[in-house]
Structure formats: C-alpha cells, structure tokens
C-alpha cells in the first residue's frame, strides 16, 4: 500500500475517570454545626467520534495510536462539584467503520453527520453531603470516582461512492474520472499509476449528481492479496453501481474478454454480493482500436450476460457524456448507499475478583467497601437495568464478599456503601 494512503488503523481509546468526592464540613463563624458539605467529583471526559469531510484517509492514526480523555476534577468543600473532564473529539473521514478489535464486529458506521460517543467518561464520586441521614449526621467518608470506558478498536475506511470504476491497471479509469469530474488523479502510461482511491463528484444536470470512485487497478489474484487491488476492494463495498472499464484497443496485446472475466472472478471471490451489483461495461480507447474484432467479441460476451456496453474514449472525451447519463439513469432506480448496522453488543468484562477489598465499618454502622476491581466493576454496571443488576449481584456473591461480610458480623438492615451505590443488606 502506498505510504500516502492509510485506510485501516487500530487505536486504543480511554475515557477519563470521574473525580473523587470530598469529605468536608461547613465552617462558619457563629454556626455551631454546619453539617457535611463535601462536593462531588466531576465526570470524566468521553471519547467522541465526529465526521470530518476534509479528511480522506486515516493517516492521522498512523503515528498516534492511543487517545486518552482528561479525568474529572475532585470535589471541594461548600458543596462545590469538581470540574468535568473535557470530552476528547476524534475526527474521522466519512465512511469510516468502527470495529471492535477483538471480535471485528461493527460498533458504528460513521457515514452520517451525528457525533458518536465511543467511550463514556466515568461518573464522579459523591461527596459526604450525600450520606447525611438522621442517624448519620456527620459522615466522614466520600466516594471515589469511577473509571471511564476503554476500548481497542479498528478504524476501516470504506468510501461513500455511488459508482466504482473497476478494471485492470492502465485501462483509463483515472482519465475517465478526470474527464467527468473535477478530480485530478495522477495519470501516466504505466501500471499502478493510481496508488490510492480517488473520489470525484460527477455533475449530470441541475439537482442531479453522483460520487464516482477510481479504485486502484485490480489484477488476477487480488482477492488473495496480489497487487494493490486487495487492499482497496473494500472501497467498492458500498458502491451501488460498477463501471467496468475495459481496454479494447489492443495496444498492449491484451484480450478484453479475458480481462473482463478475470476482474469479475476476483470480485466473486472477494464478495459474491459485490459481484452481483449492476455493471455498465465501458469499452475504452476505441479511438485507437487496432482490431475491431476485439470490441465485437466483448459486446457479444457482455450482451449474453445482460450487461450494457458503451463505447468510449476517455482521453478523446468520446462517449463519456452518454456513459454519465446512463449511470445516472440506473442510479435513480437503485437503493441508496449502504449504511452498516451496528453488530457489537457490549459484554460484561471478566473480573479478577481474587484481590482483597477494603472493608470498614463507620461509627454509625455503615459498611464501606472499596477496591480496584470493585471500582472497575461498578463502572460497567447499569443499575437501571435488571439483568445488569443481577450480573452485579452474581459477581459479588461469587467473589465471596457476602460471606466475608457475614463473618465480620453484618446484620440484616445494615447499610452497605459501594462507591455511589448504597443498599440495605438482606441475607
């Protein structure tokens, strides 16, 4: 792959942890007992993906692979909450698929314009003002913030083009794109001139236009990794229509029918669904046609397959307007560009609950429990969801926490405090 085009990258993203709550008491002259007024920690910054239409590659992710959002600030006295961590915005090209690095499942298709929260920042811990009760008027504890979400993801760019130009190297795809749009791809008379996909907007009529992509030349064996085509076949996955450019001039001694079949064989091997997309065959370089039999054989072959064939010369601007109009007419009858639905379903993390927890009892009988693995566990629980709560309860039981509490003398009705979650203990 050319160094100037990056269309796949793996990155690690880490949202910020929530700030810690604080223990503080109101102190004011002539006020005997002001009570607890420790503020909450701020929420950690989230990782947010946004589409940037000025980006056309994933080059920015070649050198920077880890993105970490700021943590939330700790709470303060006088009921002051800590500052929320700033969200970290990551810009990606339109058409970027975000996949889970472990399962390869699609998390999000960044084809629209809506931002996507990839990792949520951790909740801030509660200050001691939250824990005051009629029987616990001076709580001398606060809660730590919870960790932010983290993820290893693969970014994969699939161009959002209506029409994909396919064919062997040096058949005239780049020339055709330059003629029908304002794109300025590099053009030269040697194979693999195009080292990365080029996009161009093709104007047809008032209110009618479409996006065309020039895909680097595919060769036999591309679906197995030969040449450049394998790296870029993914970019025609979304294309609604394929224009198959075939050199019929005979100037390089190639057989147009054999070339046509070879490219379609590679498409079928890469993706049978892709090979079934509508195709227009563009017989290029007719202005320097050496053997008219080549053109006739290709026409007979494609007509037998039910595919339209148009004679063009991209270099001489011959027949290109008819090709554009034919493509626009077909596109008007086809479904819109594919947008991939998310496949990824968050799975409960595997917790190593073997490390001991810090368990202590306050003067008023509240059981405070803290520890690194418990903190991580709390960050992955949605307490508004019944199944999530049941998984949380099961994890705590399997860790031996409840048995340990009973050995320490906990009684039914005692308050158990786990970070920002409190409940009455029942056997």
Cα separation, 32 vs 382, in Å, equals 41
Assigned superfamily of 351-427: GTP-binding protein OBG, C-terminal domain (3.30.300.350)
- DSSP of 259-312: HHHHHHHHHHHH-HHHHTS-EEEEEE-GGG-S-HHHHHHHHHHHHHTT--EEE-
CATH topology identical between 1-158 and 351-427: no
66 exposed, middle or buried (CB, 10 Å; 0-12, 13-18, 19+)? exposed
pTM, two decimals, is 0.74
Amino acid 185: pLDDT: 47
Burial (CB count within 10 angstroms: exposed 0-12, middle 13-18, buried 19+), residue 1: middle
- Round to whole Å and give the CA distance between 285 and 311: 8
Computed on alpha carbons and rounded to an integer, the radius of gyration of the chain in Å comes to 31
Nearest-10 Cα torsion for 53, 54, 57, 62: -120
Helix, strand, coil: what percent of the chain each, to 5? Answer: 25, 25, 50
pLDDT, tens only, 295-346: 999 999 999 999 999 999 999 999 999 999 999 999 999 998 888 899 998 7
Boundaries of every domain in the chain: 1-158, 163-331, 351-427
> Torsion angle, CA of 318/322/323/327, rounded to 10 degrees?
170
Which pLDDT score, from 0 to 100, does residue 2 have? 36
Identify whether the C-beta of residue 210 lies closer than 8 Å to the C-beta of residue 328: yes
pLDDT of residue 29: 63
Over residues 160-179, the pLDDT tens digits come to: 889 999 988 888 898 999 99
Residue with tokens 């009570």: 35
pLDDT tens digits, 80-129:
999 999 999 999 999 999 999 999 999 999 999 999 999 999 999 888 88
Chosen CATH of 163-331 out of 3.30.1330.40, 3.40.50.300, 3.40.50.10800, 3.90.1150.10: 3.40.50.300
Q: CATH topology for 1-158?
A: Spo0b-associated Gtp-binding Protein; Chain: A, (2.70.210)
Below-70 pLDDT ranges, the chain = 1-6, 28-34, 183-196, 217-232, 348-349, 420
Using CA atoms, how far residue 118 sits from 24, 236, 375, 396, in Å, is: 35, 26, 21, 28
pLDDT score, position 161: 86
């Amino acid at each position: 792959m050319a160094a100037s085009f990056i269309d796949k990258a793996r990155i690690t993203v880490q949202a910020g942890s929530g700030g810690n709550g604080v223990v503080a008491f109101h102190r004011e002259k002539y006020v005997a007992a002001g009570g607890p007024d420790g503020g909450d920690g701020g929420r950690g910054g989230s990782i947010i993906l946004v589409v940037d239409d000025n980006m056309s590659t994933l080059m920015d992710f070649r050198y920077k692979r880890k993105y970490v959002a700021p943590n939330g600030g700790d709470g303060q006295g006088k009921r002051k909450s800590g500052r929320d961590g700033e969200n970290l915005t990551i810009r990606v090209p339109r058409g970027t698929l975000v996949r889970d690095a472990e399962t390869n499942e699609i998390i999000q298709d960044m084809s629209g314009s809506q931002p996507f929260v990839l990792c949520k920042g951790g909740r801030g811990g509660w200050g001691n003002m939250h824990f005051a009760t009629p029987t616990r008027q001076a709580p001398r504890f606060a809660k730590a913030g919870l960790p932010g979400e983290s993820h290893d993801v693969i970014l994969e760019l699939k161009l959002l083009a209506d029409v994909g130009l396919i064919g062997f190297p040096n058949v005239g795809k780049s020339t055709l794109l330059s003629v029908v749009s304002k794109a300025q791809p590099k053009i030269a008379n040697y194979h693999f001139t195009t080292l990365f996909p080029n996009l161009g907007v093709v104007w047809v009529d008032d209110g009618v236009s479409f996006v065309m992509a020039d895909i680097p030349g595919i060769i036999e064996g591309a679906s197995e990794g030969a040449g450049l085509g394998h790296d870029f076949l993914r970019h025609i996955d979304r294309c609604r229509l394929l224009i198959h450019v075939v050199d019929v001039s005979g100037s390089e001694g190639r057989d147009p029918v054999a070339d046509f079949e070879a490219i379609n064989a590679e498409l079928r091997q890469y993706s049978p669904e892709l090979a079934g997309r509508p195709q227009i065959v563009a017989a290029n370089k007719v202005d320097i046609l050496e053997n008219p039999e080549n053109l006739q054989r290709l026409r007979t072959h494609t007509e037998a397959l039910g595919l339209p064939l148009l004679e063009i010369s991209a270099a001489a601007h011959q027949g290109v307007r008819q090709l554009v109009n034919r493509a626009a007419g077909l596109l008007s009858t086809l479904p819109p560009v594919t947008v991939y639905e998310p496949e990824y379903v968050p799975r409960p993390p595997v917790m190593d609950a073997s490390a001991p927890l810090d368990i202590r009892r306050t003067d008023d009988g509240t059981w405070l429990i803290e520890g690194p693995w418990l903190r991580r566990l709390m960050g992955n629980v949605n307490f508004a969801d019944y199944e999530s709560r049941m998984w949380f309860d099961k994890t705590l039981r399997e860790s031996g926490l409840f048995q340990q509490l009973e050995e320490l003398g906990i009684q039914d009705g005692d308050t158990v405090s786990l970070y920002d979650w409190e409940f009455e203990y029942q056997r």
